Amino acid sequence: MDEIEAGFEKLKQKIEESQSEKTQEKIAGLSEQIKENDAKLLSRMAKSAAPMIKTIGLNMLKMGKQDTKGELYDPMYYPKKMIILGKAESAAFRPDNPQKQVTDQFCVLSEEGKFFELMYSDDGFLTDSYLNSIDAKTAIDQYGYDVLFMLYCALRDYLEGEEALIEALEKVIGYVFAKKV
């Protein structure tokens, strides 16, 4: 009987190893598929989020003057609201004016469902900005998967009646970050 039991244990071990390898292969395949389509996922999420940005978005500063205490006065804002999805290391200079150094740089999503880099410059008297249009792939490349996660959080918090969409996104986001959200 010992040989039979030993053989049975060996067979169980081989099945577990086989299933484990298959599972790992499947996970690796799905992971690659998600990574290959991450920009498509982000674009679709942006389209779903666009209608709610009018309600939850912020009026972002376009330009403002600073007094001697550093307080802003005469501020001008962009006409459309936006939500902030991420922050990156500031670029050396702005694309519209190489003379202006970027002090802060954010990835934002507009009411139209378009992604932008919002670059702020500050010369001590004037704070102004440049709104640089980017695509979903560039947003992920520049700001990482944080933009995907932040947009998911916004969707989860503000989309009502879309439980199936939120549940599916939660699974994908949890999978991308390899943890439960």
pLDDT tens across 124-168, in order? 788 899 999 999 999 999 998 889 888 988 877 776 666 777 777
Question: Highest mean pLDDT: which of 26-35, 48-57, 74-83, 87-96?
Answer: 74-83
Query: What Å distances lie between residue 116 and 33, 79, 143, 171, CA to CA?
Result: 26, 14, 11, 27
Supply the mean pLDDT for the chain.
Answer: 82
Confidence at 22, pLDDT banded by 50, 70, 90: low
Q: Are residues 86 and 166 in the same domain?
A: yes
Q: Are residues 169 and 89 in the same domain?
A: yes
- Round to whole Å and give the CA distance between 80 and 43: 19
Q: Are residues 79 and 165 in the same domain?
A: yes
Long-range contacts of residues 11-14, Cβ cutoff 8 Å, at least 24 apart = none
Q: Are residues 17 and 68 in the same domain?
A: no
Residue 181, in any domain of the structure = no
Domain count, the chain: 2
Look up the domain containing 32 and give its range. 1-36
Does this model's pTM top 0.85? no
Residue 139, in any domain of the structure = yes
Mean pLDDT across 53-59: 90
